[in-house]
Amino acid sequence: MVQLGNHAIYAPSMAYTVGNVVFKTTNLVKNLFGKNFFKHVHIDTRMAYTEFAINSNKEFIHKNKPVLGIKPVIELLNDDIFLSGSYLTTNMFPMTFDNIGGGNFNFIPFFADRKNGNSAGYLLDRIRIGFGIFMNFNTVVEQMNMFSILTSMWTQEKQIPRKTAIEIHLPKPLLQMISVDSGVPMRDENGSVEKFLDYMNKHCSRPITYQMKPSSGNDEFFMYYPLTIEYTPTDYSMDSVEKIGQTIHSAPITFTLTAEFNTIQLFDYAPPRGKEMNLDAYDISIEDRTNNGLGKFMVPICTFDNLFNERNDEGWRFFTTRMYKVDHEPGQTEDRLDLKELFKNTNIKEIIEYHNKYGIDNHIFFNIQVWGLDKQLKEGRDYDFDFNTLTLITKKLNKRITYRFVIYIDDGYINDLVVKLRPEEFTYR
């Protein structure tokens, strides 16, 4: 946190942003050939971080083929990157134009509480990541066929735009300052963030999402950020086949896939009108568990291109979605996540009690889907939901990734049942 005049400046975690884009790019390349085509996927980087999902640390060239290897190299400072040096990506006048419009001169509005007069904005950044792509095949025929498909689908030096979305980390100290000045605590007397999350979504220009706290105590807030990633393939090469004796050992294809995209480099916070900025007046000593900059970990998050669909295929209404991580210690077979707070002001307990009494399956009105990275998990095998305790039980444990659950409910069925259970409330006298 840096104070400039009557403003506080804080940077989001670049580790989350880069991790998300690396994850999305890996899926883009994989899906070009089908999700199950590559037998092994390896992500290599100069940065130290926990590898995604099931990748091992063994030399991937010895794995069963076909193999996909990806090595990202990040460019943060490069004058030939689009928008470099522009008003959109440069903190132009942090001191001179103090408090114009409640924020810095060229920061994009993000949060504003008109009643309290406090506000926050963000400054764009433009990042380039060059992905070195390595594919290895069993035969020269397969190598030639895949090279033909690849170069036909992705023309060299022709831009490939992909509309998508990522979730950008919101620094805890920034949120703490908003909480203090708004009078809305980040956690209420029951330890719930629901009121604060609702407050933020009512006063922010973009949706705010939340990663629920596991027993390790790590929870985070994010901004849902739609963007276009612009990819450009170059340097296609179908390398010579290597043999060990008479057996083909390696039939590789290599190329570079360069990605450019907008993200957020800085958040700017301005206190309520007439209030002097004093960092010591805020309790911003709260622990920020993320690694800002390109720190120890790159964190992949499964972010849907659309935050949610208002109705699912059965016409059920979207209820909520959250991210979460699991705690996975040696010998641990499941992780339990308490979701009671999400249903605090609903009649779900009454419905469950009625169903239990008459032996009715709760799935006829309630559907919870769980995703681990890009894969939808299977209920009963990978996860369960305990309706009596309102607890999500994850069985397929991987502490290296971020999970997401999405809940849909049959609101028509619920409304009809509530009328049946409490007819006196719906009778006109």
Q: What is the mean pLDDT of residues 144-154?
A: 93
HSE-CB of 406 using CA atoms within 13 angstroms: 19
pLDDT at 248 over 50: yes
DSSP 59-96: -GGGSSSSEEEEEEEEES--TTSTTTTSTTTS---TTT
Give the pLDDT confidence score for residue 331 in this predicted structure.
79
pLDDT band at 82 (very low <50, low <70, confident <90, very high): low
- What distance in Å separates the CA atoms of residue 157 and residue 300, rounded to the nearest whole number? 28
Average pLDDT, the chain: 83
The bridge status of strand 208-212 relative to strand 220-238 is antiparallel
CA distances, 259 to each of 48, 75, 131, 331, 422 (Å):
21, 10, 8, 41, 57
- What distance in Å separates the CA atoms of residue 96 and residue 83, rounded to the nearest whole number? 23
For 290-309, b/e burial (b = at least 16 CB within 10 A) is bbeebeebbbbbbbeeebee
Residue 403: what residue type?
Y
DSSP 123-158: EEEEEEEEEEEEEEESSHHHHHHHHHHHHHHS-TT-
pLDDT digits (tens, 9 = 90+) for 362-396: 999 999 999 987 789 999 999 999 999 999 999 98
Residue count (the chain): 429
Q: Which helix (H) or strand (E) holds 346?
A: none
- What distance in Å separates the CA atoms of residue 393 and residue 389, rounded to the nearest whole number? 11
What is residue 161's three-state secondary structure?
A: strand
pLDDT band at 53 (very low <50, low <70, confident <90, very high): very low
Residue whose token pair is 């998300």: 20
Least confident interval from 34-38, 47-51, 87-91, 242-246? 47-51
Q: Which helix (H) or strand (E) holds 201?
A: helix 194-203
- What distance in Å separates the CA atoms of residue 24 and residue 418, rounded to the nearest whole number? 43
pTM of the predicted model over 0.95 = no
pLDDT at 124 over 60: yes
Q: What is the mean pLDDT of residues 287-304?
A: 59
